[in-house]
Structure 1
Amino acid sequence: MKLTFKILSAIAVYILFTHTNAYSQGCVAIRSTGGLCIMDEHPDSIAHQGGVWLFNSNSRYFRSYKHFVGSEEQKQRIEEGTNVINHSYTQDLVLTRIVNNRWAFSLDIPVVGNSRSSLYEHGRTERRTTHSFGVGDISIRAYAWLLNPVKATKGNIQVGLGLKFPTGTYDYQDYFYNTGTNGARLLGPVDQSIQLGDGGTGIITELNTYYNFTHNFGLYGSFYYLISPREQNGVSTARGGAPSAKAVANGSDVMSVPDQYMIRAGVNYGAGNFNYSLGVRDECLPVHDLVGGSNGFRRPGYIISVEPGITYRINKFSVYSYVPVALVRNRTQSVPDKITTQLTGVDTHGDAAFADYAVNIGVTFKF
């Protein structure tokens, strides 16, 4: 069966995102999920091959600067100039070995560059910037089609299982300026949102599916969940200083190692060498983990985006672009927020900065 389009799966970094550090477009730290996985190559195209290699290079960038408490935007932060501004860039390098028309294995190496400017981290008198750069958390994954691709010509389901290793520095340090120390510079761990890794070994689970109505029109869907058994990584959130009594009391004096997930679904339309897609993307850092504890500092939340995309393919080469645009942004109440609420009787709900959109651009080469 000849198809004029390919079904696309989850982008990494993840940001991705990444971090895959790619984020859920802001301070809600969603690590990249890598570049395109092997659903970028429809099984019909490899059904009679002895095995091929795929190399994918995916670039993800966003600028987060709008603060939310729950789903309510704190517009005064921009007006007052007190908002945090994050610039996040992740380059995912993904090498995939397609063993046969059922099985494949991939290796994802993210290279991350971040910057974060703020007032509150530097004495509240002058906006200063901290940075991080290096290799993020490397992951390996195995994929399998549940149905025989030769026979299942209209639709199929692909499952994936892998491991994310704590290869990215999770206690990356830079200098902070604080008027409380007579303007002296303090060397300390940068904010969790721009750390290169989270410090935990994670279990990656994936589910990708598609269904073709015609030769050039179909549906796609994908689900990604990272299970992080480790509760905290031991890195201080005090930016080189001493944690506050409040942070110690509610457990936010050290960084957590949170779970994360991403859901994508939409439609594809093929025309010649082009494939157009339009879907919905939901990225989330949950309040509670599936395995292990959930305390420690994290900014849980989710972002729901509309995700248009375009891919151009010629022979063994393809280039694509996806730009998820935020529709809903919600910074949910964390475990430390809830502990503080119980201790003080005053409702406590932290904030997070989000972006309006993210840009994903990449290339895939089959050899």
Structure 2
Amino acid sequence: MLRKLLATVLLLTVSYMHVLAQGCVAIKHFSTCSGNPNSSLQTGKGYALFSANYRYFKSFRHFRGTHEEPDRVTNGSEVINYSHSLDLNLTYGLGNRTFLTANLPIVYNERSSLYEHGGAERYSSYSKGLGDARIGVGYWLKDINTAHDANMSVNLGIKLPTGTYGATSTFYNVGSGGADEVRPVDQSIQPGDGGFGITLGLQAFKQLGTRLSVYGSGFYLSNPKETNGTRTFRETLSPILENESIMSVTDQYSLSAGLNYSFFKPSLTLSLGGRFEGIPVKDVIGGDLGFRRPGMAGSLDPGIIFMKDQLMFTLNVPVVLYRNRPQSLTDLETEQLTGLPRAGDAAFADYLINFGLTIGLGNKDKSHQE
């Protein structure tokens, strides 16, 4: 029973691992809403879990609304983001319901474009370093010693502005007389956003049979801060972008649900789910001024887990099926003033690769004794 429960819970954790950073839409990557809270279901007091999750994607497909602009790839004007990230997570059980979590991301990004370098030649800008760390506390509604078939947790956390939100790189052919200049990189590859945030997460699972289970999760990051003071230089591209000269500090959200199937006692588990995540046009708390690329993406998320003793290896390859870059506030205001249609674009990925390793620290059996 414990191994069946462990497989179900660990797969729920992995299925919740991926808040997709979809290219130009600055959806930051979170391994979970607050560390690896689902894994603490079977841990109990004094047991800890350490996990590391690596993610890679390449974004290049441009969308305005839900309409793709394939000519951007054809004529070579597309913006390409390459993103590598490593999330380090630690979860510690305070009891059979309550747990603490901590997360520290490390990122490396490359952004290749024409328009940011004078429009005639393609160059790249770069960013690397720590992202925004998070700490949190979670609570399972049922005691983990009795909730073998179903449970739900509520998670509340704080996002800290530990990541650089004014990272710079060299931009070519943009200064006076076509000189090169050092400027802040695009919002989509900034390691951090410069704001203190509040995270809220819900997670649940239910066993449908000996091997089959269903999972679901929801996540919201609220960033009350309006702007972070980092200049975008977008106003130099067009006078109508004056409102976008400073970067916004945005909210973001994620929803996921799916099915898990376990076999081989169950050392191997397969999952198939769906995900929907994005950046809203307006924040729940705080102002909405500054530059943001609102956007949303829906993905089919297949995954596989191999588990042995206190080690777990995971691989997920979410495939993006739906992309939408809605009008921003600047788009709407410009359209109202001029009477002409106005919609910015954003680049999205086709798929992502996520690989994770989780290690249990401590005596799992004793952790259930209080």
Question: Normalized against structure 2, the TM-score is what?
Answer: 0.91
Distance 1:179 1:52, change over 3 A: closer
Distance 1:195 1:176, change over 3 A: same
**Deviation of 1:148 (Å):** 2.2
Amino acid at match of 2:38: M
Amino acid at match of 1:65: F
Name the SS of the counterpart of 2:106 in structure 1. strand
**Deviation of 1:149 (Å):** 2.5
Distance 1:234 1:12, change over 3 A: farther
For 1:52 and 1:159, how far apart are their aligned partners in 2? 19
**Deviation of 1:34 (Å):** 2.1
Instruction: Decide which of 231, 240, 257 is 2:226's aligned counterpart.
Output: 231
Whether the 8 Å contact between 2:259 and 2:273 is mirrored in structure 1 is: yes
Distance 1:107 1:180, change over 3 A: closer
Amino acid at match of 1:29: A
For 1:9 and 1:186, how far apart are their aligned partners in 2? 46
> Match of 1:288?
282
> Match of 1:118?
113
Aligned pairs for 1:240-319 (under 5 A) are 244-248=238-242, 251-272=243-264, 273-319=267-313
For 1:181 and 1:324, how far apart are their aligned partners in 2? 44
Q: Does 1:156 align with 2:151?
A: yes
Distance 1:105 1:360, change over 3 A: same
Aligned pairs for 1:72-151 (under 5 A) are 72-151=67-146
Amino acid at match of 2:28: R
Amino acid at match of 2:255: I
> Match of 2:164?
169
Whether the 8 Å contact between 1:103 and 1:142 is mirrored in structure 2 is: yes
Whether the 8 Å contact between 1:122 and 1:177 is mirrored in structure 2 is: yes
**Deviation of 1:235 (Å):** 1.1
Distance 1:292 1:247, change over 3 A: same
Distance 1:144 1:263, change over 3 A: same
**Deviation of 1:345 (Å):** 1.3
| 1:218-247 Cα deviation digits (max 9, x unpaired) | 1000101000101111111107x8575322
For 2:72 and 2:202, how far apart are their aligned partners in 1? 39
For 1:117 and 1:324, how far apart are their aligned partners in 2? 23
**Deviation of 1:104 (Å):** 0.8
For structure 2, which runs of at least 5 residues remain unmatched after alignment?
362-370
For 2:155 and 2:12, how far apart are their aligned partners in 1? 12
**Deviation of 1:66 (Å):** 0.5
Distance 1:12 1:134, change over 3 A: farther
Q: Does 1:362 align with 2:361?
A: no
Amino acid at match of 2:184: P
Whether the 8 Å contact between 1:320 and 1:362 is mirrored in structure 2 is: yes
Distance 1:252 1:270, change over 3 A: same
> Match of 1:6?
8
Whether the 8 Å contact between 1:13 and 1:33 is mirrored in structure 2 is: no
Instruction: Decide which of 197, 200, 203 is 2:198's aligned counterpart.
Output: 203
Identity %: 43
Amino acid at match of 1:264: S
Name the SS of the counterpart of 1:6 in structure 2. helix
Larger helix proportion, structure 1 or 2?
Answer: 2
| 1:307-358 Cα deviation digits (max 9, x unpaired) | 0000110000000011110110011111111111112111110000000001
> Match of 2:366?
none
Question: Normalized against structure 1, the TM-score is what?
Answer: 0.92
For 2:23 and 2:332, how far apart are their aligned partners in 1? 22
Distance 1:13 1:222, change over 3 A: closer
